[in-house]
Amino acid sequence: MKLFGALVWVGLLAVFLVTGCGQGTQKEETETTGSSSTAPERQDRQETTDEAKTIDEETTGASFTATPEMSGGTEGAADGIQGVRFERSEGYERAVIDFGSGGAPSARVPAWSLSSPTGEGYARITLPDVDSTSVSDGSFGGSILDNFYVVRAPDAGMFLDLFATGAFQYRVTELSDPGRLAIDYRPASVELGFPLPAQAERTVLFEPRAGETVTNPLRVSGYSRNFEASNTIILRDSNGNVLLQSTVLSNDWLDAWGYFETSLELPAFEGQAVLQVGTESPRDGSFEGAEVPVTYGGERG
Amino acid sequence: MTHLYLPANSNNYTAANRPYSHLIDKIIIHVTQGSWSSALNWFQNPRARASAHYTVRSSDGYLGQSVAEKDIGWHAANWSYNQTSIGIEHEGFVSDPKWFTEAMFDSSARLSAYLVTKYGIPLDRAHILGHNEVPDPYAPGQYGGVTNHTDPGYYWDWYKYMDYVAYYAAV
């Protein structure tokens, strides 16, 4: 009997180890090259009061990746963002986007595409069907998930930028009833290829980046919540003299961050300069915005 | 005058006791670059750091008020002008004339006439002016602030507006 009992325990231990190792491998998988956008969704999930636990159970099939592009969702399934939440789990951090339709929670996730350019510290989720949002930005304060912005897209819909504190891998999971998109970040053991976009209180400057060697024409893009959607662009030389000044309107400022982009002819100069993008304070006219140092070699485009 | 009063957050204006603390001798005309309700909502957000006293709805001219006339709104990007003016936002976009409806012009002119009469504001274009005509406090000779605001823009009919204000002020 003692020998039989020992065999039973050895067998149980073997089953436990195999099962545990299998799950561990699935969760720790680091790279995928496939085009599958989302994890298979459990349709028969059980009700629980611990939502974090429920979501975690639903994502066990997904893999972390550095794939630059992904897409998914159902066209027309939602028209609004009802919230963006942050959750912290062992080994990763999660942003959850809650979707709505006609003001009520939607059943499914609307069409989405994700762009995570190589070397960049953010992922952009574009939502062409989404036209409204109840939240425009926020800080996650995580160790890898830093903050987010909801931006009126230049063509139609909105996009949401999820900024990281450094290089990251991600995975995406669609959840239904109600429709949610969960984006998990975990740190990657590489360095970012580019400085993060400069972020000020009401201006985020995507182009150019700090320290960039710019070319003519100068492309400037980003998003803002500046008064009456008006953004000024000022290029100053190392002595503070204004080399270039222009104004560009963004496509929103009241309901969400408004996107702007423009191309400007650079004057003849060489060397260091500072680019300021923002607006004057509606209170007293003082400048408020983002600024980055840039270098120009004087070459013409 | 019937209107909706949704007070701006106190971060977005300066409390005062005008016209006793500061003379009110100007009306500044703005265009929101967005919707009426969104403007009123944003002025309630402490992060906006901006406000206007009134916002006129495009479809029917309905007024929303965000800042009491005695307080100093933050809309002109020029502290001196803020201290001595009432800011009126108009729902719409400078590049799209369809927002500048007859109802909006009429309602805004009635409001301006009321303010002209109440505070003794001279009824001329030097005292009823566009945001694009406010001097840049840091660049003499430039207007519309550092950002060179262009509102109310090309489609704002100043002749019609001033005629309406004069008419209602006389009434």
**Residue A273 CB contacts under 8 Å (≥ 6 apart), including other chains:** A235, A236, A237, A238, A243, A293, A294, A295, A296
- Enumerate the residues of chain B whose CB falls inside 8 A of the CB of residue A252: 34
- What is the complex's ipTM, to 2 decimals? 0.92
pTM: 0.83
pLDDT for res B139: 73
Interchain pair B145, A253: CB under 8 A: no
Q: For residue A251, how many C-alpha atoms fall within 13 Å in the half-sphere facing its CB?
A: 17
Pairwise CA distance, residues A149 & A159, whole Å = 8
Report the residue count for chain A. Answer: 301
Q: Is pLDDT of A60 > 50?
A: no
pLDDT for res A12: 40
**Residue A24 CB contacts under 8 Å (≥ 6 apart), including other chains:** none
Pairwise CA distance, residues B25 & B27, whole Å = 7
pLDDT tens per residue, range A239-251 = 999 999 898 999 9
pLDDT tens per residue, range A201-226 = 999 999 999 999 999 999 999 999 99
> At which residue do the structure tokens 């989405």 appear?
A112
- Assign A285 a pLDDT band (cuts: 50, 70, 90): confident
pLDDT tens per residue, range B91-106 = 999 999 999 999 999 9
- Assign A41 a pLDDT band (cuts: 50, 70, 90): very low
Asked if A271 contacts A296 with a C-beta cutoff of 8 angstroms, the reply is yes
Work out the minimum CA distance from A202 to partner chain B, whole angstroms.
9
Range scoring the smallest mean pLDDT among A5-14, A136-145, A179-188, B146-155: A5-14
Q: Is B69 helix (H, G, I), strand (E, B) or coil?
A: coil
Interchain pair B75, A227: CB under 8 A: yes
- What is the average pLDDT score of chain A? 82
- Residue A38 is given by DSSP the state S
Q: Is A191 helix (H, G, I), strand (E, B) or coil?
A: coil
Range scoring the smallest mean pLDDT among A8-22, B19-33, B130-144: A8-22
pLDDT tens per residue, range A103-129 = 999 999 999 999 999 999 999 999 999
Work out the minimum CA distance from A159 to partner chain B, whole angstroms.
19
Q: Tell me which residues of chain B have a C-beta less than 8 Å from any C-beta of chain A.
A: 14, 30-35, 38-39, 41-42, 47, 49-51, 74-79, 82, 131, 136-138, 145-151
At A239, list the tokens.
């002595």
Strands A168-175 and A180-187: antiparallel
- Assign B18 a pLDDT band (cuts: 50, 70, 90): very high
Asked if B86 contacts B63 with a C-beta cutoff of 8 angstroms, the reply is no
Mutation for testing the B interface, residue in A147, A254, A276 having most B CBs under 10 Å: A254
State the angle between helix axes of B158-170 and B102-119 in degrees (0 to 180), rounded to the nearest 10. Answer: 50
- Residue A210's Cβ-count burial label (10 Å; 0-12, 13-18, 19+) is middle
- Assign A268 a pLDDT band (cuts: 50, 70, 90): confident
Percent of chain B with pLDDT over 90: 88
Asked if A153 contacts A125 with a C-beta cutoff of 8 angstroms, the reply is no
Work out the minimum CA distance from A285 to partner chain B, whole angstroms.
4
